[in-house]
Amino acid sequence: MALWLLLLVASCFSWLPQPASGTSSLTLAANITWSSINFKTILEWQPKPVGYVYTVSIAGKKANWKKKCFQIEGTECDVTDLVQDVNDTYTAHIFSEVLPAEDEVEEPPFSISQPFTPYKQTVIGKPGLQSFQYNKDHTTLQVVIEDPSTPYKHPSGSLKNIREIFKDDLKYTLYYWRASSTGKKQESTNTNEIEIRVDKGENYCFYAQATIPSRKELRNSQESQIVCTGPGGNNFNDYGIGVFIAVGIAIVVIIVLIVALSVTLYKCRKLKTEEKAKESKPLNNV
Ligand SMILES: *[C@@H]1O[C@H](CO)[C@@H](O)[C@H](O)[C@H]1NC(C)=O
Ligand SMILES: *[C@@H]1O[C@H](CO)[C@@H](O)[C@H](O)[C@H]1NC(C)=O
């Protein structure tokens, strides 16, 4: 009988509104995405938190849990430095937590990301076009392609490029066409230099794209900018077009300065001779 009464009282109380219990206003992170390009990796999710914070924790199959972006009010986290072992497969937990933490012992609720393997899943960005050069009799064109760099550093502090990570598992394709036509051709290489045969006297346009042959998905990089060789098959050697523009601008500025200076000098001298003439006038009148 006493037990009955107790149960009745207990169930009575459970109908009363509960005091806000911390977890009631939490939302778990959803739509978690790994946004990664050239090994710079940012974790993104939704929704924007109202009245609570997120903390990211990441582990690899070969790496222990590490926290990043501790108790943030944002919805993204740069985790590049936690996913440096490019062949490891990482998973992220995103914790939702109301501050101040009511219960230090209990782990806040979290949602789990898809697994992410940088070597297989980082998007390869635009390659650079470092230089191009026709041979002497304008029958071949050699193009040198520049590897995109990554945020990862050598012990010396310089940045690693993607070639230093993918090694032989990286090839480049050059797409090229005569400037006067649209028929596109292509040529691939395992190195960063491509030589193509060209028609004498013709100008060419081209762009490059990287491929990671071992990948099943995301095999191809973004495309480089398109470059066209100049009229008459200008040979820019190791200089980019930017250098030529800069030199051109410098020449124009120098010419303008010279002209301005000589005009000023001329006017100055003319003024002085006129003043002298004025000064000498009264004397002449005497
Ligand atoms: C997740 O994305 C879907 C589709 O883009 C959207 O409808 C949904 O609201 C998102 N979830 C959150 C929690 O924002
Ligand atoms: C990553 O794995 C590929 C094969 O999938 C291998 O060729 C490469 O050497 C590995 N890289 C590192 C840094 O372990």
For the domain spanning 128-241, the CATH number is 2.60.40.10
CATH topology identical between 24-121 and 128-241: yes
The residue extents of the domains of the chain are 24-121, 128-241
Q: Whose CA is nearest to atom 10 of ligand 2?
A: 87
- What pLDDT digit, counting tens, does each position of 197-220 carry? 999 989 999 999 999 999 999 999
Please tell me the predicted confidence (pLDDT) of residue 3: 45
Please tell me the predicted confidence (pLDDT) of residue 122: 97
87 vs 68: CA distance, rounded Å:
20
Please tell me the predicted confidence (pLDDT) of residue 184: 93
Q: What is the DSSP string of 128-172?
A: EEEEEEE-TTSSEEEEEEEPPEEEEE-TTSPEEEHHHHHTTS-EE
Please tell me the predicted confidence (pLDDT) of residue 33: 97
Ligand 2: does its nearest atom lie under 6 Å from the Cβ of 168? no
Q: Which residues contact 127 (CB under 8 A, 6 or more apart)?
A: 145, 146, 147, 148, 172, 208, 209, 210, 221, 224
Segments of the chain scoring below 70 in pLDDT: 1-24, 101-105, 231-245, 247, 268, 272-286
31 Cα to the center of ligand 1, angstroms: 6
Classify domain 24-121 at the CATH superfamily level. Answer: Immunoglobulins (2.60.40.10)
Please tell me the predicted confidence (pLDDT) of residue 5: 44
User: Residues 203, 228: contact at Cβ < 8 Å?
Assistant: yes
The reported pTM is 0.71
164 Cα to the center of ligand 2, angstroms: 11
> Among 181, 56, 157, 42, which Cα is nearest to 111's?
56
184 vs 69: CA distance, rounded Å:
47
Please tell me the predicted confidence (pLDDT) of residue 241: 59
Q: Which atom of ligand 2 is nearest to the CA of 169?
A: 7
33 vs 59: CA distance, rounded Å:
16
